[in-house]
Every structure is written in structure tokens, then in C-alpha cells.
């Protein structure tokens, strides 16, 4: 008796497992009549918000641009000027690797200036940076002391904010009014953060982070309580048995109910 019910339960389970993926696969295929994409009525204007949200991982940069409404300033330059715009877009990794001077304590005006200093109020193709390097320091969209220096070492073009000088290599877009170049560092301006520290060969200080102090007590607790727990091994094994028992019981109940329905 027991063996036959086991067999039937097994068959039922097999049937269930076999049928489940089939229905799951059918489901996504059936709603194939997707809404047909409407033909874009917009003119040639680049939508910077859209561009930055689909290109690269620039979500942090875009979020800051939206927070400060600098995105409107940039978009306005695209919309209403002949000069166009050149934007240096730091990747999400560039923001997440920022530690020493963090952006957390900047005033709104400072943050706005920092973001504006990631753009030039004119379109520059990659080839034109060669000429720009002869006009250092180049005033950014933020104006005043917010400048960038460009260098061109036999085709290797870099942009230098004083704190960072990433390569300008990959262009997200470079079509006359709009150029967006991906950069691997946030261009921290000297005008906000002061003179950059000399490039030391990474002594890795970082003494007062909150994380180590938070982790230390919990690690100590875990270490202290782990030895008593291992001594009281019956606790662990009994909980395992209970789990296995409940699972088995649940399965049997499920199968039994289904057999009743059949
Ligand atoms: C630009 O793109 C964003 C994101 O795709 C969208 O929300 C916004 O409506 C667009 N703006 C215009 C003027 O088309
Ligand atoms: C830019 O132009 C688009 C399309 O004409 C328009 O929808 C958008 O509001 C404009 N944005 C700005 C900031 O001028
Ligand atoms: C930010 O300001 C807080 C409070 O004024 C201060 O404790 C903290 O050290 C500052 N952090 C940075 C990175 O300047
Ligand atoms: C660079 O400047 C020179 C004149 O100084 C000009 O003839 C040349 O076309 C410029 N190159 C680019 C790529 O703008
Ligand atoms: C940029 O170049 C100018 C002129 O060569 C120089 O005085 C300035 O210190 C440079 N700034 C940075 C941040 O390298």
C-alpha cells in the first residue's frame, strides 16, 4: 500500500514538474501583440535625460543633474544655441569610488557648480581636443575658476580637473550640437576642494570609517556564541530534523489532497 502511494505521489510530482515549465514558457509568448512604437515626432534635438538613462551606467550623474536641475541648463543649451555642448559623464563607478572628498557635504550651489564644471558650453569633437590643449585652462559651463585642462600626448587625450585627469576616449555621442564623453573619474574641481593632494602611491589610510566599528561588536558576538552553539549540537540537528519532517509532511498532505481531487 505504502509503496503504491509513494509511486503515485512520485508520478504526480513528475507530472507537476513537467507541466509547470511548459505553461510558464507559454505565458510570455502569448502576449506578443506588443504596443507598436510610435514614430518619434521629435526633431533632431537630443534628449539628454533619455540619452544618459540608456547609455553607459550614468544613473548617479543623471540623478545629481536632475536633483540640481542642471539637466535643464544643459538641455537648454542643446535646444537653444548654435554652440552646442560637450559633457564629460562620469560613470556610476566613478561616483561610488569617491571616498576622500565626498560630495555629501557640498552645498546645493557647490554641487551645481561641480556638475556644471563637467561640461563645456560648446560642442567639441574628439579631434578638436588637440586644439583645446593649447588654450588651457579652459573655462567650463560653471564659469569663473571652474576650469579644465586638456592634454594630448600623441593622441591620448586627457581632461584634468586638478583632482582627476581621466582619459577622454569613449564618446557616447558626438554629433554636432552634442558631445557626451564617458570618463572614469568625477572631475572634482580645485575651486571647491582646494589644491589636490600630491599623487601618493596609495598608503591607504582610511582610519575612522564607521563600518569597522559597527562590525567589530557583531563579529565578537558571533565568535563568542559560536562555541557554545557547537557544543550544544543537538539544538542544530533537531531543528534540521523538524524542517525535513515538516517538508515531508507538507508534501504528503499536498499529494494526498490532489489524489482526493482526482
Ligand atoms: C526625455 O526623455 C525622458 C526619459 O526618457 C522623458 O521622460 C522625457 O519626457 C523626454 N523629454 C522630452 C522633451 O521628450
Ligand atoms: C527642449 O526641446 C524639447 C523639444 O522641442 C522640449 O520638449 C523641451 O522642453 C526643451 N527643453 C528645454 C530645457 O528647453
Ligand atoms: C560632513 O559634515 C559632518 C557634520 O558637519 C561632519 O561630521 C563630517 O565629517 C563631514 N564629512 C565630510 C566628508 O566632510
Ligand atoms: C586646430 O586649429 C587649427 C588652427 O590653429 C585649425 O587649422 C584646425 O582646423 C584645428 N583643428 C581642429 C580639429 O579643430
Ligand atoms: C591648467 O593649466 C594652467 C596653465 O597651463 C595651469 O596654470 C594650471 O595650474 C592648470 N590647472 C590644473 C588643474 O592642472
Instruction: Please work out whether the CB of residue 127 comes within 6 Å of at least one atom of ligand 4.
Output: yes
For the record, the C-alpha cell of 211 comes out as 563600518
For the record, the C-alpha cell of 204 comes out as 591607504
Tell me the C-alpha distance between 49 and 53, whole Å: 6
The whole model's pTM is what?
Answer: 0.65
Q: How many CB atoms lie within 10 A of CB 251?
A: 12
Tell the residue nearest (CA) to atom 6 of ligand 2: 79
What is the per-residue pLDDT across 142-189, written as a single tens digit (0 to 9) for each? 999 999 999 988 888 999 999 999 999 788 999 989 999 999 999 999
- Nearest ligand by distance to the CA of 133: 5
pLDDT at residue 77, rounded to an integer: 96
Q: How many CB atoms lie within 10 A of CB 60?
A: 18
For the record, the C-alpha cell of 35 comes out as 504596443
Tell the residue nearest (CA) to atom 3 of ligand 4: 131
Check pLDDT > 90 for residue 112.
Answer: yes
Atom index in ligand 2 nearest the CA of residue 72 equals 13
Give the start-to-end residue ranges of the domains of the chain. Answer: 48-193
What is the per-residue pLDDT across 36-83, written as a single tens digit (0 to 9) for each? 555 544 457 899 999 999 998 999 999 999 999 999 999 999 998 899
Tell the residue nearest (CA) to atom 14 of ligand 1: 47
Protein fold of 48-193: FAS1 domain (2.30.180)
Check pLDDT > 90 for residue 111.
Answer: yes
Once rounded to an integer, what is the mean pLDDT over residues 220-237?
41
Which stretch of DSSP H or E encloses residue 221? helix 210-231
Residues lining ligand 3, Cβ inside 6 A: 102, 104-105
**Considering only CA atoms, which of 165, 80, 88 is closest in space to residue 126?**
88
Amino acid at each position: 500500500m505504502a509503496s503504491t502511494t509513494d509511486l503515485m505521489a512520485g508520478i504526480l510530482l513528475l507530472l507537476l514538474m513537467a507541466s509547470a515549465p511548459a505553461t510558464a514558457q507559454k505565458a510570455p509568448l502569448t502576449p506578443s501583440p506588443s504596443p507598436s512604437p510610435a514614430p518619434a515626432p521629435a526633431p533632431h534635438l537630443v534628449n539628454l535625460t533619455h540619452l544618459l538613462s540608456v547609455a553607459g551606467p550614468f544613473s548617479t550623474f543623471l540623478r545629481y543633474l536632475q536633483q540640481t536641475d542642471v539637466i535643464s541648463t544643459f538641455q537648454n543649451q542643446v535646444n537653444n544655441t548654435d554652440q552646442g555642448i560637450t559633457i564629460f559623464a562620469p560613470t556610476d563607478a566613478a561616483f561610488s569610488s569617491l571616498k576622500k572628498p565626498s560630495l555629501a557635504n557640498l552645498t546645493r550651489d557647490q554641487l551645481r557648480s561641480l556638475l556644471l564644471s563637467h561640461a563645456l558650453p560648446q560642442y567639441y569633437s574628439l579631434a578638436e581636443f588637440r586644439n583645446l590643449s593649447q588654450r588651457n585652462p579652459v573655462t567650463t559651463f560653471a564659469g569663473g575658476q571652474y576650469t579644465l585642462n586638456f592634454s594630448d600626448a600623441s593622441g591620448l587625450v586627457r581632461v584634468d580637473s586638478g583632482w582627476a585627469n581621466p582619459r577622454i576616449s569613449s564618446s557616447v555621442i558626438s554629433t554636432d550640437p552634442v558631445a557626451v564623453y564617458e570618463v572614469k573619474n568625477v572631475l572634482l574641481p580645485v575651486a571647491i576642494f582646494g589644491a589636490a593632494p600630491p599623487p601618493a602611491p596609495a598608503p591607504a589610510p582610511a582610519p575612522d570609517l564607521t563600518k569597522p566599528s559597527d562590525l567589530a561588536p557583531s563579529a565578537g558576538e558571533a565568535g563568542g556564541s559560536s562555541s557554545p552553539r557547537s557544543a550544544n549540537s543537538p539544538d542544530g540537528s533537531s531543528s534540521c530534523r523538524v524542517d525535513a519532517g515538516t517538508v515531508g509532511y507538507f508534501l504528503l498532505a499536498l499529494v494526498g489532497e490532489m489524489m482526493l481531487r482526482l
